[in-house]
Structures are given as structure tokens and as C-alpha cells.
């Protein structure tokens, strides 16, 4: 028989039991507190978190589900998740829980729904499912996490729309606009590169701007990008291309929170503006020169008349051959001076005679005949359309064409071919002209052409690339031709490249006989 415990031992055992009970209560309280904290954390989440069984019945859900579905979560427990949310009788399309059940892994899906209870309209959800497995690896439950990403999706759509609108605007610009880095490489470009430099977007991105615009692998002197990098402000430059176009380049830093390492690079074709400026300057120069030359020419012509008349009298009095020869030289000099004086008078604003109806073919034939036959030079004329007769000063316009033909012939000292093409052409919005049909007369020679440095000066009085001793009055021919054509309401254009010949084109208005 066992010995009965003493009073002291019983007291010790009771104290131990009490201590164990207190400890057990503390552990239970800690567990309850821990569970409450976890529930509080889960309930504070903006994501819907659910514990579901293998059949997708909801075992537990955090508080956000009440806000989403407008029900107490106690009434949702035991319901199928897809029925609770959408009223469906089967899982949602692309359900991540279905995928997780098959794969045994965490699965993710973006789901678009139009029938979520308590929410109007289409909504987007980011859903993922985590399988919970027992010790043997069998799936017992699933944790579902759903986040409403409708605002994010709508923002993405708005961003896509804004980007498309920006790209449409970007590509609608007639100027070539691109984004550059400090290394001069093109990061982005609009489609205007196709019309400005004949290269596609893919052909320019990643390349150096100086390579594409100037054909160089280093920046040119005065490069606006180099200047903008240093000044941190807009810089620009203008230059003339090898195909006689004027381009304006503007570079502006793009302001960002970080350092400015991106720049807007805009290339604009300002050829028309430059031509307009040159046209105005030329008209002003022509007006000033015309007033001056007209006054001088008339006075000079009066003096020549006196000199020439006295020479005629001297010829009658002097019979010695040697003296007659000297008088003939003076007479020829006076004749050349007279012709030169007449050109000055033509450049003035008082020399246009009365206009009458003439056929353009007859005027050109007369001009070709006056220019005379030149050895080793073939002159051809091709009239493409039925050209109507126009009101002109026959002598004046014939003289203008003669000057152009002579100028072309003189450019072909070693022989060549001058092609004259006549046709009608509709000019749409040319300068300040209204849209209209004009007669276009092109004079295309096979000479050496004109350099880019000289082409803007060819219509200036007394500009010539030939020695002045070759022809008296050299440099007035094209200036006179342009003046005559202007007085007929037309204009003259020139296109030339060194080594490739020159084409001078005259545009004349068709006479309205109504």
C-alpha cells in the first residue's frame, strides 16, 4: 500500500496544478490575441481574402466582402464563391482555383466581369489562388485573393487612348520632329521624316542626327544640339541642302525632374518662306535698279543718238579706208551700247509694249531663230498639249526666251543638247497665286550646271560666272528675262546641280478671253 502524501506534498501539487492552469489560460489568451490580430490584419486588407474548400464553398472571408457584396459575411459562409459574387451556377471563366486544383500550384488570372453583385458595370479583377495541402500533399482547401483593378484598367485604357492621340498628333505634323539624347542619337521620330529626308521611322531611330541631316559622323560647326546642351535653352539654325532646299533646325531641352538629357529636335522645310523672302528682296532690288537704270538709260540713249548721228555724218565726209574702218568700230561700239541701253530700259518699269494674242510656238521659234545655229549644240522643242494663244508683248517675250536660250548655249561650250518642253500645268496654291492652269515652258540644257553658292544670284543684274570680256553686257540676260516675264504676270524658276545641267522654267498665265 502506497504511502499517503503529506499535507505539504498535497499543497505543492495543488500549487503546480494552479500554475499549469494559469499558464494554459495565458497560452489560450495569447492564441486568441494572435488570432484576433491576424483577423484584424486580414480585415484591414483592401483585397478580398477567402478560405474555400475543395468545392469552392466559402469557409471564411475577410470583412471587405461585406462592402463588395452588401451582405453580412456570416450569410455568405457556406456559399459557392462564384455564386456569391456573380450568381453563376458554375466557376467563372479562367478561374484560378480551377487551375490550381488541376496543377496543384499557385495560379493567377485577370478576370473581366459584368455581373458582380453590388457593383454596376464592367469590372476587372486580379485573382490568384494558393492551394493548402495536408502532410500527404493532398489539397484540402484554397486561399483565394481578389483585388478590384478596374480603376487601374481604366487608367491603362485612358493611357493607351492618350498615347494614340499623341502619336496621331505627333505623326500629323508636317515638320520632322524627333527626340534626341545628348549623344545625338535619335530616340523617337514622327513620320514626317519620310517627306523631309526620304527615310522611314525605323531607318532613323538609333542613328546620329548629324549623320542623317548632314551626312557627317560628328556634329557640324554651330550645331544647335551642342549649343542647347550648353545653354539649356532653345537653339536653332538655318542651312541650305544639296538639293537647293532650305531647312530650319530647332532644338529645345525637355524639362524633367532628372537632368535634362532629352531634346526635341525639329526640322522644318522653309524653302517656300525663303523663296518668298528672296522674291520680295528681288522685287525691291529690281524696282530700285529699274528706276536707276531707266533714268540713266534714257539719258544715255539721248547721248548715243547724238554720237551715232555725228558718226553717220563723218562717214559721208571721210573717204579714206583706214579712217572708215575706225569709224566702223566706233559705230559697232555704239550699236552694242544701244543694245545694252535697251536692256536697261527693259529692266525699268516703262518698257512693256502693247500686248496682243500670239501662239507660244511662234514666239519660241522666233527666239530660237534669233539665237542662231550653234555648232555641236542641238535644240529641240516638244509641245505636249494644245496650248492656247496668249496675250503678250511679242518682241519683249521673244527677247526673254532668246536670252534664256543664249544663256543655255553659252553653258555648253563643248556642245550639248537644249530641250524645250511646253505644256499646261495646274499650279495648286503656288505662293500667293490662286489655283490655276498655267503655260509651263522648260529650257533644259546639258551644261555644267550651277553651284549651290551661285544659284540664288543668277537673276541678279550683272551676275555671271563667265568672263565679262566674252560678251558685252554679260550678266543682264536672265535679269532682263525675269523682268519681262514678271510684266506678263508670270514667274521664272531655276533648278540646277553642278555637273548635271540646268533647267529654267517659265510660267505664264493663260489669257482669259471671256
pLDDT in tens, 15-74: 666 665 655 665 555 555 556 666 777 777 888 888 899 999 999 888 888 887 778 888
Q: What is the DSSP string of 221-253?
A: TT-HHHHHHHHSS-EEEEEE-TTS-EEEEEEEE
- Tell me the three state secondary structure of residue 374: coil
pLDDT in tens, 398-455: 888 988 988 888 888 888 889 999 998 887 654 455 567 889 999 999 888 888 777 7
Q: What is the share, in percent, of the chain residues with pLDDT greater than 90? A: 15
Assign residue 363 a region (left: φ > 0; alpha: ψ between -120 and 50; beta: otherwise): alpha
* Three-state SS letters, 166-225: HHHHHHHCCCEEEEEECCCEEEEECCCHHHHCCCCHHHHCCCEHHHHHHCCCCCCCCCHH
State residue 428's pLDDT score.
Answer: 67
- Contact criterion met (CB below 8 Å) for 490 and 438: yes
d(CA 106, CA 8): 60
d(CA 306, CA 301): 9
- Contact criterion met (CB below 8 Å) for 113 and 123: yes
pTM summary value = 0.52
pLDDT in tens, 62-89: 888 888 777 888 888 899 988 888 888 8
pLDDT in tens, 222-232: 899 999 989 98
Smallest CA-to-CA distance from 66 within 40, 80, 51, 85 is with 85
At 469, the pLDDT band (50, 70, 90 cuts) reads very low
Q: Is the pLDDT of residue 472 over 60?
A: no
Q: Is the pLDDT of residue 213 over 70?
A: yes
d(CA 360, CA 385): 12
pLDDT in tens, 97-143: 999 999 999 998 888 877 777 667 788 888 989 999 998 889 999 99
Higher pLDDT, 6 or 179: 179
Burial of 496 (0-12, 13-18, 19+ CB in 10 A): buried
| Residue 276 main-chain phi, psi, to 5 deg | -65, -40
State residue 459's pLDDT score.
Answer: 76
- Tell me the three state secondary structure of residue 476: coil
Amino acid at each position: 500500500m502506497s504511502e499517503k502524501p503529506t499535507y505539504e506534498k498535497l499543497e505543492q501539487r495543488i500549487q503546480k496544478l494552479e500554475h499549469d492552469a494559469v499558464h494554459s489560460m495565458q497560452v489560450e489568451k495569447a492564441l486568441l490575441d494572435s488570432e484576433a490580430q491576424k483577423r484584424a490584419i486580414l480585415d484591414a486588407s483592401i483585397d478580398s481574402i477567402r478560405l474555400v474548400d475543395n468545392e469552392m464553398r466559402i469557409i471564411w472571408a475577410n470583412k471587405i466582402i461585406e462592402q463588395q457584396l452588401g451582405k453580412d459575411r456570416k450569410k455568405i459562409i457556406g456559399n459557392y464563391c462564384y455564386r456569391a459574387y456573380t450568381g453563376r451556377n458554375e466557376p467563372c471563366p479562367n478561374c484560378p482555383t480551377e487551375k490550381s486544383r488541376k496543377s496543384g500550384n499557385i495560379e493567377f488570372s485577370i478576370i473581366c466581369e459584368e455581373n458582380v453583385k453590388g457593383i454596376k458595370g464592367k469590372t476587372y479583377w486580379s485573382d490568384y489562388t494558393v492551394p493548402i495541402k495536408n502532410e500527404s500533399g493532398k489539397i484540402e482547401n484554397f486561399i483565394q485573393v481578389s483585388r478590384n483593378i478596374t480603376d487601374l484598367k481604366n487608367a491603362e485604357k485612358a493611357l493607351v487612348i492618350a498615347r494614340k492621340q499623341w502619336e496621331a498628333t505627333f505623326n500629323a505634323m508636317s515638320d520632322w520632329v524627333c527626340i534626341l539624347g545628348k549623344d545625338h542619337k535619335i530616340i523617337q521620330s514622327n513620320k514626317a521624316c519620310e517627306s523631309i529626308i526620304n527615310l522611314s521611322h525605323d531607318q532613323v531611330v538609333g542613328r546620329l542626327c548629324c549623320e542623317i541631316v548632314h551626312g557627317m559622323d560628328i556634329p557640324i560647326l554651330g550645331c544647335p544640339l551642342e549649343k542647347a546642351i550648353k545653354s539649356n535653352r532653345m537653339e536653332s539654325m538655318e542651312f541650305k541642302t544639296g538639293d537647293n532646299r532650305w531647312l530650319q533646325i530647332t532644338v529645345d531641352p525637355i524639362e524633367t525632374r532628372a537632368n535634362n538629357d532629352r531634346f526635341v529636335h525639329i526640322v522644318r522645310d522653309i524653302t517656300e518662306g525663303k523663296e518668298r523672302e528672296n522674291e520680295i528682296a528681288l522685287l525691291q532690288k529690281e524696282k530700285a535698279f529699274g528706276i536707276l537704270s531707266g533714268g540713266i538709260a534714257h539719258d544715255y540713249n539721248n547721248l548715243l543718238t547724238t554720237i551715232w548721228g555725228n558718226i553717220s555724218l563723218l562717214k559721208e565726209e571721210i573717204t579714206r579706208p583706214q579712217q572708215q574702218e575706225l569709224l566702223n568700230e566706233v559705230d559697232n561700239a555704239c550699236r552694242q551700247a544701244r543694245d545694252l541701253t535697251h536692256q536697261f530700259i527693259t529692266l525699268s518699269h516703262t518698257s512693256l509694249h502693247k500686248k496682243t494674242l500670239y501662239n507660244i510656238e511662234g514666239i519660241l521659234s522666233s527666239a530660237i531663230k534669233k539665237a542662231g545655229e550653234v555648232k555641236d549644240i542641238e535644240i529641240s522643242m516638244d509641245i505636249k498639249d494644245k496650248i492656247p494663244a496668249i496675250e503678250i508683248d511679242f518682241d519683249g517675250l521673244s527677247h526673254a526666251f532668246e536670252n534664256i536660250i543664249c544663256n543655255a548655249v553659252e553653258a555648253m561650250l563643248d556642245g550639248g543638247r537644249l530641250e524645250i518642253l511646253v505644256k499646261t500645268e495646274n499650279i495648286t496654291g503656288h505662293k500667293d497665286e490662286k489655283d490655276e492652269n498655267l503655260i509651263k515652258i522648260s529650257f533644259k540644257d546639258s551644261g555644267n550646271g550651277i553651284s549651290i553658292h551661285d544659284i540664288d544670284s543668277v537673276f541678279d543684274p550683272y551676275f555671271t560666272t563667265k568672263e565679262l570680256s566674252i560678251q558685252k553686257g554679260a550678266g543682264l540676260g536672265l535679269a532682263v528675262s525675269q523682268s519681262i516675264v514678271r510684266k506678263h504676270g508670270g514667274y521664272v524658276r531655276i533648278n540646277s546641280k553642278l555637273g548635271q545641267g540646268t533647267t529654267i522654267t517659265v510660267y505664264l498665265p493663260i489669257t482669259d478671253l471671256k
